[in-house]
Amino acid sequence: MSREDAGLTNDVTALGSASHELIPTQTQLPVPVPPVRKRPRHRLRQVLLLLALIAAAGGGYYWWSTRPPGLPPGIVSGNGRLEADEIDIDTKFPERVAQLFVDEGDLVKAGQLLALMDVRDYEAQLKKAQATAQQAERTLAEAQENVKQQQTLVVFAHQELLRAHDLVAKEFMTRETLDQRVQQMNAASAALAGAQDRVGEAERALEAAKRDVELLEVNIADSRLIAPVDGVIQYKISNVGEMLAVGGKVFTMLDTSYVYMDIYLPTAEAGQVRLGDDALIVLDALPGLALPAKVVFLATEAQFTPKAVETKTERDKLMFRVRVRINRDLLHAHRRDVRTGLPGVAYVRFDRSVAWPDWLQTKIVK
């Protein structure tokens, strides 16, 4: 080997040793981490926008496919809520609740006893008034008997006076005796008049006693809280044992014979509606049923009136309240199902020659 080859070999050996020192061992190599590729934000926005468009299209199709067809000329509609007249069952006097016979949700009939108040004080006063009336009746009977006696004395005194006149004329009796007979006649007449006055006083006393009895009987009857109409108990406000003031509420009931919906129609439509026009009410909770009704009220004054009405456009904004009431016979048959506050739509037919649309006709409750 030449000197140049030996030197080259040494250089290669040294280079290999140096490179071995520079390369780290396998345990010292760092673990490679793949880079995270972030999705662009605009791509996410596009996806969300696409989903929103799909949802809107689906909702629009559902509304279009389920919406009712348009109304023919002669029929108008308006939104409202089902309502019924509320009746407060309250006390006439300051009284304590003694008994309750119904509860919330119960159906009641006109004349049914709902609650009874504590009337022991009125009952005691009634017994006293009845005793006073009985005493007045006895007093009146005694006065009437006294009148009969006085009438007999008057008849006797009158007969004596007539005989005295005859005897004086025949000079069988003195003038002084005739004067005595006249005085007896006057006294009997005065006694009769006094007896008749006492009869009048006794009659008035008896009448006053009877009125006291009737008043207490009315007060006791008013303490029996009665249902004025057929309906359903909506709220129970007081409990047994509570002391109530005048007008204290015990129950609130709904008059199920008068259930209605108020709607608002613009001027052009409200002007064609008349009292007694046919109507149908469709509730949101019962979309498959149409309840027959009648127009029973038309407002004479507009609602939502602008401050200054000068143009036709502004006049068209005027809204009039129209009330439609469900038929009483239908309410009587389904009064347990009456629910107030339910929203819905009332359809009013002001042209009687127009038939209800098929999609409403098939829903009418018979």
Q: What is the SS3 assignment for 13-58?
A: HHHHHHHHHHCCCHHHCCCCCCCCCCCCHHHHHHHHHHHHHHHHHH
What tokens does 226 get?
A: 């009665």
Q: Does residue 148 sit in the same domain as residue 210? A: yes
Tell me the C-alpha distance between 249 and 89, whole Å: 6
Confidence bin at 176 (pLDDT 50/70/90): confident
Q: Once rounded to an integer, what is the mean pLDDT over residues 349-363?
A: 89
Q: Once rounded to an integer, what is the mean pLDDT over residues 106-135?
A: 93
| pLDDT tens digits, 267-287 | 888 889 999 999 999 998 888
Number of structural domains in the chain:
3
Residue 240 clears pLDDT 80, i.e. is over it: yes
Q: Does residue 77 sit in the same domain as residue 158? A: no
Tell me the C-alpha distance between 83 and 260, whole Å: 5
What does the pLDDT read at residue 53?
73
Q: Is residue 43 part of a domain?
A: no
Q: Once rounded to an integer, what is the mean pLDDT over residues 2-29?
A: 46
Residue 17 clears pLDDT 80, i.e. is over it: no
Residue 308 clears pLDDT 70, i.e. is over it: no
Instruction: Return the closest-CA partner of residue 340 out of 279, 261, 229, 235.
Output: 261
Q: Once rounded to an integer, what is the mean pLDDT over residues 98-109?
A: 93
Range of the domain at 75: 68-84+256-361
Task: Please provide residue 51's backbone torsions phi and psi, each rounded to the nearest 5 degrees.
Answer: -65, -40
What does the pLDDT read at residue 191?
87
Q: Is residue 271 part of a domain?
A: yes
Q: What does 296-364 look like in DSSP terms, one character per residue? A: EEE-SS-BS--S---SHHHHTT-EEEEEEEE-HHHHHHTGGG--TT-EEEEEEE--TTSPPPHHHHTTB
Residue 214 clears pLDDT 90, i.e. is over it: yes
Q: Does residue 217 sit in the same domain as residue 125? A: yes
Q: Does residue 171 sit in the same domain as residue 233? A: no
What does the pLDDT read at residue 69?
61
- Identify which has the larger pLDDT, 338 or 216: 216
Q: Is residue 136 part of a domain?
A: yes
- Identify which has the larger pLDDT, 328 or 32: 328
Close Cβ partners of 184 (under 8 Å, ≥ 6 residues apart): 157, 160, 161
CATH assignment at residue 109: 2.40.50.100
Q: Does residue 204 sit in the same domain as residue 298? A: no
| pLDDT tens digits, 30-81 | 555 555 555 556 666 776 777 777 766 655 544 444 445 678 889 999 999 9
pTM given for the model? 0.59
What tokens does 102 get?
A: 């119904």
